[in-house]
Amino acid sequence: MSFGNKDAVRDIRSTIQSMMPNARQELSHLVSFQSVAGNNQFPTEESAKAAEWILTACRELGLNEGGLYPAADGTSLVIASRQAPPGAPTVLLYSHYDVQPPLDAAAWHTPPFTLTERDNRWYGRGTADCKGGVMMNLLALRALGRHPNIGITMVVEGSEELGSPGLVRFVRDNPDLVRADAILICDGGNAAVGQPTLTTSLRGNIHALVTVRALQAQVHSGMFGGAAPDPLAALTKMLAGLWDKAGNVTIRGLDNAGIWEGAEYPTDRFRREAGVLADVDLLGDNIANQVWARPSLTILGIDCPSVQESVPVIQAQVRARLGLRVPPGIKSDFAYQALADQLTLDAPWNVRVEVEHEASGQPFTATQGGPAYAAMQAAMRAAYGTETVTQGQGASIPVCTVFAEQFPDAEIMLMGLCEPEAMIHAPNESLDPTELENMAVAEALFLASYGHSR
Ligand SMILES: [Zn+2]
């Protein structure tokens, strides 16, 4: 598919350009709501105000069905929709209005809840993640006018940063309110400013709690050390066996040789973003493979005495929580079992080992090659004048998984304004307004063409 009619592209672009000054005003207003979910420092009215503002904006666009729904986690979900004409597809536009707390207030160069322009970027918490995404959806819909050929469902949640507990439950309980043929998760971002990108793969996430016991009670390390098994030493030996020398995960039965087929993740960018100290090695042989196509393991916490509280005793028991990320192609339950088996089998000295499965989320792969995917690729090409690339994401996004599980036939696409320079979740988060404009143009072109493509 291509946009042969250059005039249509030009019209949509000039319409969106003319809307940008107003969009900046509106985004400033949205950013001023301190809509941090689940944090006592931020009153829940701030979230409620954001939700109401968004619903009003949706109503002005003719999305007259739906409304504000109380989510099980106490926040409000905005669901505003307009039915598709008979035979036409429905597109769901997902974004979220909750934001990360500012974190280190002193590290901000501008006030976190005041949109401030500096060096052609708009600074402020949530400008990119994801209030800019809300704005992008509104701009695209406004540019289309009351487009008759497509159904639209706007879904804007208020607890994404907490893992979307409310939305996940809502989607499972009310699938008919959010059913769609194509789902745009507008919470991703381009690989770089100006490089249109679809995120097509997310790793699943598993938490395992491992407890190691060897003694009835703590004993003196002078009197018994040497013959009495130290559970903490046993645990560290078990954990050390989960990586090879190069830092690859070596859980037996898990494929750790996956190859990423899409865009590369440049080494200097990764080192900068991850804050890796100079001369410290990166793990494995290739960054994109390591973070998007292979399992990774993190020791999230260990319960044992802190250095400050340590005394010369051998502990009776210790435990650790492990976080395992698995790429598409590996089922979470299978991966958990492989980890638990290896920990149990490799435990030294017959210490008692218990492994508990705390939580898991499945990996996600976007279906490529459908009509929505083709329409989006063409729309992005027309908006940016360059081909779309694909990237993965190492982290899970529970909404992707729940939509994929409820609507296996829907085409789910992950895109948005969170390109690397946006520094989402960190102090000094910012939005590149050219990305807002270009992505809104792409989205509007997509909505216009996808309605006709079926
Ligand atoms: Zn987000």
The residues near 281 (Cβ < 8 Å, ≥ 6 apart) are: 247
Across residues 129-134, what is the average pLDDT?
Answer: 98
Q: What integer pLDDT is reported at residue 393 of this predicted model?
A: 86
Band of pLDDT at residue 2, cut at 50, 70 and 90: low
Q: Do domains 6-202+364-452 and 204-258+294-361 have the same CATH topology?
A: no
Across residues 3-24, what is the average pLDDT?
Answer: 91
Its CATH class, for the domain covering 204-258+294-361, is alpha beta
Tokens coding 329: 């192609």
> Over 70: is that where the pLDDT of 147 sits?
no
Q: What is the pLDDT of residues 251-296, one digit of tens each?
A: 999 988 899 998 899 999 999 988 999 999 999 999 999 999 999 9
> Over 70: is that where the pLDDT of 67 sits?
yes
Domain positions in the chain: 6-202+364-452, 204-258+294-361
Across residues 390-397, what is the average pLDDT?
Answer: 87
Going from the Cα of 161 to the center of ligand 1, the distance in angstroms, rounded, reads 7
Taking the model in full, what pTM does it have? 0.86
What secondary structure, in 3-state letters, does the chain show?
Answer: CCCCCHHHHHHHHHHHHHHHHHHHHHHHHHHHCCCCCCCCCCCHHHHHHHHHHHHHHHHHCCCCEEEEEECCCCCEEEEEEECCCCCCCEEEEEEECCCCCCCCHHHCCCCCCCCEEECCEEECCCCCCCHHHHHHHHHHHHHHCCCCCCEEEEEEECCHHHCCHHHHHHHHHCHHHHCCCEEEECCCECCECCECEEEEEECEEEEEEEEEECCCCCEEHHHHECCECCHHHHHHHHHHCCECCCCCECCCCCCCCCCCCCCCCCHHHHHHHHCCCCCCCCCCCCHHHHHHHCCEEEEEEEECCCCCCCCCEECCEEEEEEEEEECCCCCHHHHHHHHHHHHHHCCHHHCEEEEEEEEEECCEECCCCCHHHHHHHHHHHHHHCCCCEEEEECCCCHHHHHHHHHCCCCEEEECCECCHHHCCCCCCCEECHHHHHHHHHHHHHHHHHHHHCC
Q: What integer pLDDT is reported at residue 5 of this predicted model?
A: 72
Going from the Cα of 130 to the center of ligand 1, the distance in angstroms, rounded, reads 5
Q: What integer pLDDT is reported at residue 62 of this predicted model?
A: 93
Q: What is the pLDDT of residues 366-387, one digit of tens each?
A: 988 899 999 999 999 999 999 9
Residue 188 CA: distances (Å) to CA of 197, 267, 274, 296, 346: 9, 21, 18, 21, 39
Band of pLDDT at residue 409, cut at 50, 70 and 90: very high
> Over 70: is that where the pLDDT of 148 sits?
no
CATH code reported for the domain at 6-202+364-452: 3.40.630.10
Q: What is the pLDDT of residues 422-439, one digit of tens each?
A: 999 999 999 999 999 999
Cβ count near 373 (within 10 Å): 20
Tell which wins on pLDDT, 256 or 403.
403
Going from the Cα of 331 to the center of ligand 1, the distance in angstroms, rounded, reads 25
Q: What integer pLDDT is reported at residue 452 of this predicted model?
A: 73
Average pLDDT across the chain, whole number? 94
One-letter identity of residue 107: A
Going from the Cα of 418 to the center of ligand 1, the distance in angstroms, rounded, reads 8
Active-site residue set: 98, 160
> Over 60: is that where the pLDDT of 40 sits?
yes
> Over 60: is that where the pLDDT of 1 sits?
no
- Considering only CA atoms, which of 454, 447, 446, 415 is closest in space to residue 132? 415
Q: What integer pLDDT is reported at residue 73 of this predicted model?
A: 85
Going from the Cα of 242 to the center of ligand 1, the distance in angstroms, rounded, reads 31
